[in-house]
Amino acid sequence: LRLGKRRGLNRDNVLDLSIIVMITSIIGARLLYVLFHLSEFEGRWLYTFIPIQPDGRVGLSGLIFLGGFMGAVAASVLYIRWRKMPMLKTTDSAMPALALGIFFGRIGCLLNGCCFGQVCELPWAVNYPLNSAAYHILNGMAAHPTQLYESGYGLTIFIVLMLMERKGTWEGQLTGWFLVLYGISRFTIDFWRYYEEQMFLFAGLEFNQIVSFVMFITGIYILFKLKPGGSTGSSSLTT
């Protein structure tokens, strides 16, 4: 809201967009998880989005962040175009908050015991409780605290973007740098994360790494092609 106000965005539109992002990110994160874990939901498709599970557990166990990101982006683009909001001004306003959300969200992942890393013997390796899924999957062995790695880069990206904001930016700069920094960070850290076999698509890379690479390329395009005075001209920044 604060960054949007600085860019002249309508407050009500920003609030509406925030709600849309929260809802569609959950839907996208859940759908992508289900897509890669169809066997878990066979015969109980209704529980894809019903928060009370057959065994009495409450909540949606199984979400993929980048599925949520893609779902929120798709819905946001439609809303932004409908409301005729300036695309890059809007995304620039959102990216620092998204980075800060990653910082807090991944701490939640650590406390929840999800998104854990591969087995390692480093001094900062994490042991999970006896009754946790991570304990059984890793056979009780310690693992990389990949949640904290991701939380750390979320905070780092937030600080970098806010420092840029203080110095003044051109339209799309924060968006481009978020995509580049997140793409590099997530692609790298995922080499240490534990993933089920079905998540790996080709060349030893899993789905999230492929999406991260696409995000990186998109960020590079924004930074080098849409920069004022670049080959495409500054007028394309408002489309």
156-211 residue pLDDT tens: 999 999 999 999 889 999 999 999 999 999 999 999 999 878 778 877 888 889 99
Mean pLDDT computed over 217-239: 69
Nearest one of 130, 113, 134 to 196, comparing CA atoms: 134
Cβ(213)–Cβ(183) below 8 Å = yes
pLDDT above 90: residue 223: yes
> What's the predicted TM-score (pTM) here?
0.83
pLDDT above 90: residue 226: no
The region, left, alpha or beta by phi > 0 then psi within -120 to 50, assigned to residue 35 is alpha
Q: What is the share, in percent, of the chain residues with pLDDT greater than 90? A: 60
90-112 residue pLDDT tens: 999 999 999 999 999 999 989 88
The encoded tokens of residue 84 equal: 């005729």
Cα angle for residues 25, 28, 29 (degrees, 5° grid): 80
Give the distance from CA 34 to its chain's centroid: 17
Cβ(53)–Cβ(47) below 8 Å = yes
Greatest pairwise CA separation for the chain in angstroms: 60
130-139 residue pLDDT tens: 888 889 899 9
CA–CA separation, 166 vs 123, rounded Å?
38
Distances (CA, A) of 67 to 6, 25, 28, 35, 37: 30, 7, 5, 10, 13
Q: Is 118 exposed, middle or buried (0-12, 13-18, 19+ CB in 10 A)?
A: middle
CA–CA separation, 214 vs 195, rounded Å?
20
What is the sign of the dihedral through the CA atoms of 224, 229, 231 and 234? Answer: positive
